[in-house]
Amino acid sequence: MIRAARRALALSTLALAACGIAYAQVYQEPDAFIAEVLGSKPPPKVLWLTKDIQGQAAAILGHPPAQLRQRYWSEGGKSVWILEETGKEELITAGFVVVDGHIDHVRVLVYRESRGQEVRQTSFLKQFKDAKLAQSNRLDRDIDGIVGATLSVGAMERMARLALYFDRLSHDKARE
């Protein structure tokens, strides 16, 4: 029986390798994502993270932000934010499109860990559609988690809040 199971395992492995040989860790290059959602890739704009902004970002992330400036791209009321945050062990890279203070679109662009890729699922990401910031820079809704991917789900939620917060600051800056 074990011999038969081993044979089945070997055959399944070969079959899966044949259909999944493409290396799929980088699902979409950030540049391609920006060009797709904005029609083309405009020059980046920069949001400088002053001490106050860093404090708010730290409150959202649960740790100080690692950057002093955040690049973003905007066109016709739409802004695009490429953010990175650690899930369990490694950074997740995700793209967020914000329109009128609401999340319009989210996509996981690079996922590096061997488990937890379920955060890429449409059924998970669509929960962010139209989410906006509520009190204390929290989302206006609960995001249902994925069993076994708790920390990756948390990372996605924190990035969504950060994208909305940064988007609000970018509009404040434009009005000044």
Partner 1 sequence: MKKSTLALASAAIFGATPALGQASVDEKLQILQQEIDELKAQSRKSAGPAQQPSPYSLDYGSMLDRSSGLANGGTNIIGYGEMSYSKFRESGNATADLARFVFGFNHRFDERLTFHSEIEIEHAVVSKDDQGEAEVEQAWVNYKMSDAVNFKGGLFLIPLGILNETHEPPTYYGVQRNQVETRIIPTTWRELGVGVHGIVSEGLRYDMGVTTSFDSGKLDDPTTGMRSAHQEGQLANASNLAVYGALNYRRPGLLVGGGVFTGDTGQNGASNPALQGVAARFTIWDVHAEYRVAGLDLQALYTAGTLGDADKVTAALFAADPATAFAAPQSMKGWYAQAAYHVYKQGKLDVAPFIRYERIDIKQAEDPANGLLQDPNNNERIKTLGVNFWVHPQVVLKADIQRYATDKTQDAFRLGAGFMF
Write out the residues near partner 1 by the rule CB under 8 A. 1-2, 5-6, 9, 12-13, 16-17, 19-26, 30, 43-46, 48, 62-63, 65-71, 82-84, 86, 88-91, 93, 110-112, 114, 117-118, 121-124, 127, 136, 138, 142-151, 154, 173
Say which DSSP state 26 is in.
B
Rounded Cα distance, 9 and 64, in Å: 46
User: Is the Cβ of residue 106 or residue 151 nearer to partner 1 in the bound state?
Assistant: 151
User: Is the Cβ of residue 112 or residue 171 nearer to partner 1 in the bound state?
Assistant: 112
User: Is the Cβ of residue 40 or residue 114 nearer to partner 1 in the bound state?
Assistant: 114
- Residue 161 · residue 60 · CB < 8 Å: yes
Question: Sheet of 69-75: strands edge to edge?
Answer: 45-48, 69-75, 78-86, 91-99, 102-111
The type of residue at 31 is D
Cβ 77 to partner 1 shortest distance, Å:
20
**Measured CA distances, 36 to 32, 65, 79, 92, 107 (Å):** 6, 27, 13, 20, 12
Cβ 122 to partner 1 shortest distance, Å:
7
Cβ 96 to partner 1 shortest distance, Å:
12
Cβ 152 to partner 1 shortest distance, Å:
12
Cβ 6 to partner 1 shortest distance, Å:
6
User: Is the Cβ of residue 8 or residue 101 nearer to partner 1 in the bound state?
Assistant: 8
